[in-house]
Amino acid sequence: MDTQDNDEVAPSPRGNAKEDRHFVTALARGLEVLSSFRSGDQILGNQEIADACKLPRSTVTRLTYTLTKLGYLHLVPSLGKYRLGTATLALGSAMLSKLDVRQIARPLMQELADASQAMVSLGVRDKLSMIYVENCRSHAALTLSLDIGSRIPIGTTAMGRAYLALCPDTERRELMERIRELDEIAWPRIDTGIRKAITDFQEIGCCTSFGDWQKDVHAVAVAFQPGEGLPLMSMNVGGPAFSLSPQYLLDEVRPRLIETVNLIMGRVGRG
């Protein structure tokens, strides 16, 4: 499982603008500005946003002014910097409310968390990250300090690898190429982990990350397609390595995780 915001940035869509007459460059740039805020409490200035988005500061200044007028950003006058505004909160809340699978999954996830004495999380992909949309902690054990909205890398975490193992081949190839471009040096290790995850998913029904993302974090994960127009999702169980050994996660937790995912899929289907 998988902790810590991920600063991975997908290749900018601006390069496709000339090739696609339907592509609105100004809108894409505005969304890139909002995407540069990796957490709701992060505060950024125009120069920091310009560096993150690889845009001229003058362009960013116009975009932040417009987004502030619309309520998507809020200016902190004493700092001369911005934080996310309430309009983005409304967007996020609207999206989460449409994920009915969360209501179905939550009690089953809590049962699994308590049984495994770990943290159980449900996530969806955003660019080269997985974002937690639901999270349940064991009441009896030390777990990771993650919550809904936490962002983790797709290539080295159990949750991300599970997604890559189940997504369509064309999507997987594109994502792997983007991960490789992001970090050529680390790519051989990441590539090995992803290919092992695909084999594991086929052979044992889950994917793993035992210290591959963070050396003191162990996790197992299963991806599934809930249907009903919902995105491909991944569910993981994980926590501190000192309390969750690979053997325990594979022998004891893995069957419960697979059973939980199957129950969720069955109940979503009946809905």
- Per-residue pLDDT reduced to its tens digit, 204-250: 999 999 999 999 999 999 999 987 677 899 999 999 999 999 999 99
pLDDT band of residue 270 (cuts 50, 70, 90) is low
Same domain, 138 and 209: yes
Assign residue 49 the CATH number of its domain: 1.10.10.10
Res 40 pLDDT > 90: no
Q: Please tell me the number of Cα atoms within 13 Å of 93 on its side-chain side.
A: 5
Same domain, 81 and 156: no
Residue ending a domain, among 31, 66, 91, is: 91
**Structure tokens, 158:** 């159990």
Calculate mean pLDDT across residues 22-47. 83
**Structure tokens, 46:** 């125009």
Res 199 pLDDT > 70: yes
Res 59 pLDDT > 60: yes
Q: Are 249 and 218 in contact (CB under 8 A)?
A: yes
Same domain, 263 and 158: yes
Separation between Cα atoms, residue 243 and residue 140, nearest integer Å: 12
Structural domain boundaries enclosing 47: 13-91
- What is the signed CA dihedral for 55, 56, 58, 61, rounded to 10 degrees? 30
Higher pLDDT, 89 or 139: 139
Same domain, 55 and 112: no
Our count of domains for the chain comes to 2
For residue range 130-167, list pLDDT tens digits in order.
989 899 998 765 666 677 888 899 999 999 999 999 99
Residue ending a domain, among 91, 118, 153, is: 91
Same domain, 146 and 43: no
